[in-house]
Amino acid sequence: MDSIINDYQHTLAGTLCWSGIGLHTGVAVNLSLKPAPANTGIIFKRTDLEGFVIKARASNVARVSYATSLMHKGVLISTTEHLLSALMALGVDNVCAEINNLEVPIMDGSALPFARDILRVGLKRQRARRTYIRILKPVEIAEGGKSIAIYPSERFRVTYGIDFSHPLVGSQKLELALTPTSYLEEIAPARTFITSLEEVEILKKAGLVRGGSLENALVLSHDRILNPGGLRVPEEFCRHKILDLIGDLALLGHPLIGHVVVHRGGHAVHYALVSRLLKEKDSWRLVDSLEVQPRTSAA
């Protein structure tokens, strides 16, 4: 588990199933991941709507407020980022996610349940070669004190900084060279979070977090963490932002070779980079694994 650079595409070696509730809708939902043929990509299939298919691609993004939602022809799949994050980080190229409601189950608020089960069932190599988006020149976006950029690198790296007024969060900054091992240990356990009880009430009035609880979110009062046991990992707040970023970048449709640098980011900021990259096609090119060299050196 030392590298995400693979010569060939991979799918799951078996089927995985989960049941849970949606964070924002509070509805019960069943989710199954099934192997898919090469070059399928990641697709969602609404089994409650006659198997309607929505591809996990940027062209289908509907909303990026508090979660990343996909829509095609009026059919919605919400809160996709944690599942997409685990699939992207662990090297799953092709999979069919069958779901019987409109929101991916929140599980424990992190990507760890998905990641652990993906590793348990294992991956199956396929005959088609994997292709990567290799960054050729910098792309930078800054607005309203928030910024995101991507620079050429020899591997996928993330530098992420957050800055919250809450004293238990404050300013945090992390740099990570992503591998399946580093993702499983350092990123996947990090939970979604809410920094005040007042924010909870505001979100509920807006029709959100109806399924939220201390079982699936990290919640702060003005002076303490309300969850029993406190933080799972140091800088859990910043690590969860990286988790979300990886999931949102999956919407490009190919793994990235580049260094992403974010300051005070979120889903909207992440999607802004995805959109800019798809427009500025001279800033990158598709390459296969033979051109991704050296495989394990730092940028």
Tell me the pTM. 0.95
The answer to whether residues 242 and 228 belong to one domain is: yes
| 68 found inside a domain | yes
The one catalytic residue in 24, 240, 254, 267 is 267
Alpha carbons 269 and 76: distance in angstroms, whole number? 21
The answer to whether residues 170 and 69 belong to one domain is: no
Number of domains present in the structure of the chain? 2
With a cut of 80, say whether residue 2 has pLDDT above it: no
> Which residues, in sequence order, are CB contacts of 234 under 8 Å at separation 6+?
none
With a cut of 60, say whether residue 299 has pLDDT above it: no
- Domain with 93 in it: what CATH number? 3.30.230.20
Indicate the helix (H) or strand (E) that contains 247: helix 236-249
Using CA atoms, how far residue 102 sits from 25, 46, 117, 198, in Å, is: 9, 8, 22, 27
If pLDDT is split at 50, 70 and 90, which confidence band does 291 have? Answer: confident
The yes-or-no answer on residue 72 being catalytic is no
The answer to whether residues 148 and 86 belong to one domain is: no
| 298 found inside a domain | no
| Residue that finishes a domain, picked among 130, 145, 180 | 130
Alpha carbons 21 and 106: distance in angstroms, whole number? 6
The answer to whether residues 183 and 121 belong to one domain is: no
User: What pLDDT shows up at residue 63?
Assistant: 86
> Residue 260, Cα to own-chain centre: how many angstroms?
14
95-142 confidence digits (pLDDT tens):
999 999 999 999 999 999 999 999 999 999 999 999 999 999 999 999
Alpha carbons 185 and 207: distance in angstroms, whole number? 33
| Residue that finishes a domain, picked among 130, 145, 161 | 130
With a cut of 60, say whether residue 201 has pLDDT above it: yes
| 233 found inside a domain | yes
The answer to whether residues 178 and 252 belong to one domain is: yes
| 3 found inside a domain | no
Give the mean model confidence (pLDDT) for residues 19-39. Answer: 97
Using CA atoms, how far residue 15 sits from 32, 42, 82, 117, in Å, is: 7, 14, 18, 10
Average pLDDT, the chain: 94
